[in-house]
Structure 1
Amino acid sequence: MSFTDFFTKTVLFKSFLPKAQASFVLGAIERSEHEYFEEKMRELDEVIQSMPDVYAQDGLGDDAIIHLHYFTGGCDWYVTAKDVVNPDDGQLVVATEQHQAFGFVNFNDPQNAEFGYIPISALREHPLIELDFHWEPKTVAEIKKSINSPSLST
């Protein structure tokens, strides 16, 4: 199976990666950057596969771990958990297609940044929103501290 075939079947590609970014990655896989992008896409898919469901970090508040980061301009969406569904049998299972996730959102206004559901399907459609390929997991407390720090500009 080619990497392109593998990649287009991943949860990352189908449910989390913004469509414009996915198109870029598919093109990059065909060029000299393919090794970097193949490794990065496998890494991100593993992060998503191992990310907790929406209730697993319930009650942790600022100690919740942020697994994914989306951004554009001064807006940031920090994903702490995947969505779950409640099928007829009453058991919660991870949704096969992510329409939303849970996390912490900052629209360039630290005083009004808050926890809530994040519309992953809408983020994927927006041409300027990107999934941060260089994100390292952090707690919400670490993000709050960084967005509330005074600017270092002179």
Structure 2
Amino acid sequence: MTESINRQPQGIPVGGQFAPTAHAEPDVALAASAPARPAETQRKRRGHDFYPPAEEMASWPELYATDGDGPLGDKPIQAHYFQGGMDWYIAEYDPKANEAFGYVNLGHGGEWGYIDLAEVESVRGQFGLPIERDLDFTPGTPAKECIQKYKDEAAAEAAAALAEDRDETDFGWDGPDEPDPLSPEDRKQWDEHHRFAFNYVHEGNLLGVTGFEDRDTVERFAGFAANAYMESGWDGMMDIRTIAQAWRDQERPFG
């Protein structure tokens, strides 16, 4: 999937009772022995450093360094900042200007753009709280593993890949008269996900709609969904709604 980046400046929203607003506070000077990093204004309020260690920041790709390196879902993310329903994902960085390039979601849809890290560090978001750094984030994590938009796209592509193979193995098992193709652990997982997908149709009142016309169709969908989860390594984050859409696309490829 190809997606272009619009490298336009990415600002902080203005207006609304929960919009972040800048608050000037005295700069907190770093100790003379500490590595050189941009100054922080809300270190005490935040409770942790806004900027990662200097040696870690020095390893961040420079601006434009990751352009053309494949799909955006594969773009490595170096840091994640958040507050309330807002997220900033850093992909590239210019240390001289303290300016980053990354993916920003301010709660109403995300986009790629430039990020003034000093501005992000100094503002307060919801309830006057400062923007925080995700201390558990692993630098270099692909966008498709941390940004919801690309996680959803990756799950949809995986489900669509399964749909392309109409002759894929049916891992349903009729009993002791034939050998079970799955290990006992996978059989337990497969049966649980099959039951989950079957119940999803009935509890969601989908029986009778396109792709789920009758019980036999629903049974086939449940097997399709269980296979999709097994193919993902039993990824519990896979959205059943994405799998259901892939199933409908397979059953009615021309709408």
How many Å separate the matches in 1 of 2:50 and 2:119?
21
Structure showing the higher strand proportion among its residues: 1
User: Partner of 2:33 in structure 1?
Assistant: 6
Which whole-Å CA distance do the structure 1 matches of 2:85 and 2:51 have between them? 28
Distance in 2 of aligned mates of 1:74 and 1:41 = 18
In the alignment, the residues of structure 2 paired with residue 43 and residue 20 of structure 1 have an alpha-carbon distance, to the nearest angstrom, of 15
Task: Kindly indicate whether structure 1 or structure 2 has the higher relative contact order, using CA contacts under 8 Å at least 6 residues apart.
Answer: 1
CA distance in 1, matches of 2:76, 2:53: 15
Q: 1:132 corresponds to which residue? A: 134
Map 1:63-142 → 2, pairs under 5 A: 63-83=74-94, 95-98=95-98, 100-109=99-108, 112-127=109-124, 128-137=130-139, 138-142=141-145
**Alpha-carbon distance in 2 for matches of 1:41, 1:102:** 17
Q: Distance in 1 between matches of 2:147 and 2:83?
A: 18
In the aligned structure 1, how far is the partner of 2:51 from the partner of 2:83? 23
Kindly indicate whether the alpha-carbon contact (under 8 Å) linking 2:89 and 2:102 is maintained by their aligned counterparts in 1. yes
| Distance in structure 2 (CA, Å) of the matches to 1:118 and 1:42 | 14
Does residue 143 of structure 1 match 2:152?
no
Structure label with greater radius of gyration: 2
Distance 1:41 1:6, change over 3 A: farther
Any stretches of 5+ residues in structure 1 without a counterpart? 29-36, 84-94
Distance 1:118 1:69 in 2: 12
Any conservation in 2 of the 1:47–1:67 contact (CA below 8 Å)? Answer: no
Matched length: 116
Task: Tell me, in whole angstroms, the C-alpha distance in 1 between the residues paired with 2:67 and 2:142.
Answer: 14
- Measured after TM superposition, the shift of residue 97 of structure 1 is 4.0
TM-score by length of 2: 0.39
**2:58 counterpart (49, 64, 86):** 49
The 1-side partners of 2:132 and 2:79 are apart by 11
The CA deviation string for residues 35-88 of structure 1, in whole angstroms up to 9 with x for no partner, is xx8xx89963221011110111112322111111111111010000102xxxxx
- Gaps (5+ residues) in structure 2? 1-29, 125-129, 153-236, 240-255
Residues 113 and 96 of structure 1, relative CA distance in 2, 3 Å threshold: same
Distance 1:76 1:46, change over 3 A: same
What is the RMSD computed on CA atoms of the aligned residues? Answer: 3.1
- Tell me the CA shift for residue 4 of structure 1: 2.8
Q: Does structure 1 conserve the Cα–Cα contact (< 8 Å) formed by 2:80 and 2:88? A: yes
Query: 1:20: Cα distance to partner?
Result: 0.8
Cα deviation for residue 5 of structure 1 reads 2.0
Query: What is the TM-score of this pair, normalised by structure 1?
Result: 0.61
Note if contact 2:50-2:133 (Cα within 8 Å) is conserved in structure 1.
no
